[in-house]
A = this chain, B = another copy of it.
Amino acid sequence: MARPIITLTTDYGTSDHLVGVVKGVILTINPEVSIVDITHNVIAHDVLDGALTISQAYRYFPPKTIHMVVVDPSVGTQRRPILVAGDQHYFVAPDNGVLSAIYDQSESLFAWHITSEHYFRQPVSNTFHGRDIFAPVAGWLSKNWQTASFGELIEDFVRFSIPKPKVNGNSIKCVVLKLDNFGNLITNLKGEETPALVAPDAKFTIRAGNAEIKKLLPTFASGTAGEPFAIIGSGGYLELCVNKGNAARVLGIGRGAEVTVELG
């Protein structure tokens, strides 16, 4: 059988000992596991950013991968730790909505409130459940695969809505959900849900910052130097870009900014 895989998505950053500690705890329980960082640079305390990140990444891993997702501003309070099985993957996370986009994408779904304290590191701290609860649970799950042993099934897990575009006649109000490493601005508008935008001879105006964009191009390199344009990115969403440039800087906007698409 292949080595089990545990992925990590957190807002811990990579300058402290935290990520190393989490990996040490996992490897102490199961030295055969393969640990893969998705990112530790989720925006601090930002559950939506964490939800988007894991939802964009998990499905590229093999079935039975265990994803530990920790963006946890309420660590140590009554919020529950949960284990979720959905879409052939496993997720270990705080029950604060950070798996919301996973719930949207899974046809059948099981969630357990993790209560079996014999799996935890003792004493459990109030501030580092990544070390004391989530890493041990991910490690033990990768050995025994006994989801039901971790706690009771629940159905009332916390779930928030990922912001959706608002259509008003020919006008669509979107929002920038993510700024990538190149400065591309990724919106919440799916290309496949907007045929009037992606059709070959579509006419449209995209307003973002103080710019008007009228070009939807197939590749980054087809853009004119310095001029912002639109693209349907690799995740299927409308992105605003500049060829070899930084669209966020050129447009003067960032995450959370409003983008309006006017069709016709």
Contacts and interface: CB of A to CB of B under 8 A. Distances in A.
A20 interface: yes
A123 to B, nearest CB: 11
Contacts of A37: 14, 19-20
B181 A131 contact: no
For chain A, which range describes its interface: under 10, 10 to 19, 20 to 34, or 35 or more residues?
35 or more
How many copies of this chain?
A: 3
A221 B77 CA distance: 7
Contacts of A77: 219, 221-222
Q: Looking at A38, A58, A74, which has the most chain B CB atoms within 10 Å of its CB?
A: A38
A181 B20 contact: no
A224 interface: no
Central interface residue in A9, A18, A75, A183, by most chain B CB within 10 Å:
A18
Interface string A58-86: 10111001000000011111000000000
Contact of A181 (B5, B44, B132): B44
Given A73-B220, A127-B234, A181 B12 contact: yes
A14 B14 contact: yes
Given A28-B60, A31-B5, A222-B77, A181 B126 contact: no
Contacts of A73: 220-221, 243-244
B219 A28 contact: no
A24 B24 CA distance: 21
A40 B40 CA distance: 14
Given A45-B182, A180-B16, A34 B31 contact: yes
Nearest to A182: B44
Contacts of A32: 2-3
Contacts of A113: none
A210 B130 CA distance: 33
The 4 closest A-B pairs by CB, nearest first: A13-B181, A20-B38, A128-B234, A24-B60
Interface of A: 2-3, 5, 7, 9, 11-21, 23-25, 27-28, 31-32, 34-41, 44-45, 53-54, 56-58, 60-62, 65, 73-77, 125-128, 131-132, 178, 180-183, 218-222, 231, 233-234, 243-244, 246
18 contacts: A5-B27, A9-B20, A16-B178, A16-B180, A17-B39, A19-B39, A24-B60, A24-B61, A27-B34, A35-B36, A44-B181, A45-B182, A74-B221, A75-B221, A77-B221, A126-B218, A128-B234, A131-B234
